[in-house]
Chains A and B, each alone.
Chain A
Amino acid sequence: MRTKCHKIERLASDYIDGTLSEGQTAVVASHIRSCQPCQREVADVKKTRHLLRNFYVEPDASDAYYAQFTTQLQQRIEQSAPTALHQRFAAVATRLGWQLLTQMYRYTDHFRPSRFISIKRHALPYYVLALAMTLLIAAPFFLTQVSLHDNGEHVRLPSVTAQPAVTPATEQDMTMAHLIGIRRNMNSERTTETPTVDSGSDVWKFTDEPMVDGYIFAKFRKDSSDAVPNIALGIDSELLAYAQFPAQGAIWARLPSRDVLTEGRYALLLLRGINTGQHALQQYERKRSESKGFSQISEKLLDVPLEMLSVAAVYDPIEL
């Protein structure tokens, strides 16, 4: 009962002001009918309000004072008005500026954000804080994007051309031929010659054109349904990554520093000469056996100097 009386006491002020909801009003009315102390409480609040409204002497000043005030105010405004020529000019310019701004404000007022979003002024600091935190969190992402685009000096595709020799009869034939090509390249010896990447009936190779140091930005694919040949890009003694090549919509870009390989989906790799050394292949095999998926390879690639990257061999994604 005490708890309820305490609640009623807090509501009494709003009750006599008539600012309670219908439900609350009914609860208070019903309670005070049966509770003498609360009845007195409400009656006291009513009496207090009555005393305030009927006996409080609102201050006022004499008419003479108001007349004097109006004159003083007018004088003060006139005194603050500019007198010198340059001041008048500045005042006119300011006024015109304000009028222009006012007109613009009126015109754009219809589209002001507050028509659509209600923000209480006292909550504004919290909105500002939330915005600052969002920017803080999003900044690294945007900076990465900007550096990718700004520093991405597009270079021509480094000497990789497709030379279709024979069109495969079926997709299955091509896949089989591709696998054969893989085996052959895996068993090849270390050589400084330009390797030929054989994907069955299509012959993909690095041409004899001067090699331009660059980076392959290739999209990884986990599924092997696509018959487009793939290459494995290896890193001497450390790591290999697998990239589809050339991928549809692949982007060629140059970055000034080491890269940028995120979550196994995209790789930005350096092509600096071609090295299919046996050691690299062995390392690749070891890493491949250790790694069960693209994500793990990709994560490790982040720690590898780009200068150590080299083209290793051709592998089918299924094997990875």
Chain B
Amino acid sequence: MDRTEALLIADLCEGDETALAPLVERYKRMVYRLAVQITKNHADADDVMQETFIKVYRSIHTFRRDAAFETWLYRITVNEALNFVRRRERQRESTIETTPEAAYEASTRYRVELANDPHAQAEKAELRQYVTEAVNSLSLKHRMVVILHEFEGLTHAEIASILNCSEGTVRSRLHYARKKLRTLLKPYMEASAI
């Protein structure tokens, strides 16, 4: 934790609301990225972001200074996102209108970002899409471990702390997630001749 961040947290603890904005500015992309990958839905990710930062604002006094703020924030985001996913699953059981997958497919920004990607016209665009879809096809538990480890670069211990499970569980999930991804990506491994 650098000094600026430590000061911001200390100010927020003291009740200085203006200290929240710089923290939001610093971590908003990280929180959004994680939220949208777990919920697979921009609207839900937006809600998760709101709830996450509101929780940070209200519960900053419970943050222990000897821990990393980032890890604490990851934990809040994951918990909030999981709450949304569970809530959505309950709703899906009661109303069979728009499935989250459908909402995800219809979710504009994510797809537009992909379509507007300058690399989308390149020959690797298909591979990008396929890899992304392969990750999204994983179960929630496996997906979270892959996201946190491969894309967010967290260690097994940090992931275990965030997901409130043992390191062994994290390793095991990562192993099976990679195994499934390997099966899904097998044709592309050979084609891309990495």
A interface with B by C-beta (< 8 Å): 10, 13-14, 19, 44-45, 47-53, 55-62, 65-66, 69-70, 72-74, 76-77, 80, 95, 98-99, 101-102, 105, 109, 120-122
Smallest CB separation, A63 vs chain B (Å) = 10
A72's closest neighbor in chain B, by CB? B50
Please indicate the chain A residues that have their CB under 8 angstroms from the CB of B186 in the complex: 44
Tell me whether A73 and B165 are in contact in the complex, defined as CB-CB below 8 angstroms, given that A13-B174, A45-B182, A51-B131 are known contacts.
no
B33-A60 in contact (CB<8A): yes
- B25 located at the interface, meaning its Cβ lies under 8 Å from any Cβ of chain A in the complex: yes
Partner of B189, one of A47, A62, A95, A99: A47
Contacting A at CB under 8 A, from B100-138, are 109-110, 113-114, 117, 124, 127-129, 131-132, 135
Please indicate the chain A residues that have their CB under 8 angstroms from the CB of B78 in the complex: none
Question: Can you list 18 contacts pairing A with B, beta carbon distance less than 8 Å?
Answer: A48-B178, A48-B185, A50-B194, A51-B181, A51-B189, A53-B151, A57-B117, A57-B132, A58-B33, A59-B37, A61-B36, A61-B42, A73-B20, A73-B54, A77-B17, A77-B54, A102-B13, A105-B61
Please indicate the chain B residues that have their CB under 8 angstroms from the CB of A60 in the complex: 29, 32-33, 113
Please indicate the chain B residues that have their CB under 8 angstroms from the CB of A69 in the complex: 28, 46, 49-50
A170→B151 CA distance, assembly (Å): 93
Contact size range, B: 35 or more
A214→B165 CA distance, assembly (Å): 61
Interface of B, helix, strand, loop or mixed by DSSP: helix
A10-B175 in contact (CB<8A): yes
Partner of B61, one of A62, A65, A101: A101
A52→B147 CA distance, assembly (Å): 10
Smallest CB separation, B122 vs chain A (Å) = 11
Tell me whether A76 and B54 are in contact in the complex, defined as CB-CB below 8 angstroms, given that A60-B29, A60-B32 are known contacts.
yes
B189-A49 in contact (CB<8A): no
A109→B67 CA distance, assembly (Å): 13
Contacting A at CB under 8 A, from B168-182, are 171, 174-175, 178, 181-182
A59→B150 CA distance, assembly (Å): 14
B36-A59 in contact (CB<8A): yes
B20-58 to A contact mask, C-beta < 8 Å, 1/0:
110011001100110011000010001001100110010
Smallest CB separation, A21 vs chain B (Å) = 13
B156-A58 in contact (CB<8A): no
A170→B176 CA distance, assembly (Å): 88
Smallest CB separation, B28 vs chain A (Å) = 6
A73-B33 in contact (CB<8A): no
Smallest CB separation, B67 vs chain A (Å) = 11
Tell me whether A98 and B61 are in contact in the complex, defined as CB-CB below 8 angstroms, given that A44-B189, A49-B178, A76-B50 are known contacts.
yes
A51-B192 in contact (CB<8A): yes
Smallest CB separation, B89 vs chain A (Å) = 21
Partner of B151, one of A19, A45, A51, A58: A58
Ranked 9 nearest A-B pairs via Cβ:
A55-B131, A13-B175, A48-B182, A59-B36, A47-B189, A57-B132, A55-B128, A52-B150, A56-B131
Please indicate the chain B residues that have their CB under 8 angstroms from the CB of A58 in the complex: 33, 37, 151
Smallest CB separation, A16 vs chain B (Å) = 9
A11's closest neighbor in chain B, by CB? B175
B33-A59 in contact (CB<8A): yes
Please indicate the chain B residues that have their CB under 8 angstroms from the CB of A80 in the complex: 54
Please indicate the chain A residues that have their CB under 8 angstroms from the CB of B171 in the complex: 13-14, 19
B117's closest neighbor in chain A, by CB? A57
- B144 located at the interface, meaning its Cβ lies under 8 Å from any Cβ of chain A in the complex: no
Tell me whether A62 and B109 are in contact in the complex, defined as CB-CB below 8 angstroms, given that A51-B188, A55-B131, A72-B50 are known contacts.
yes
A81's closest neighbor in chain B, by CB? B17
B21-A121 in contact (CB<8A): no
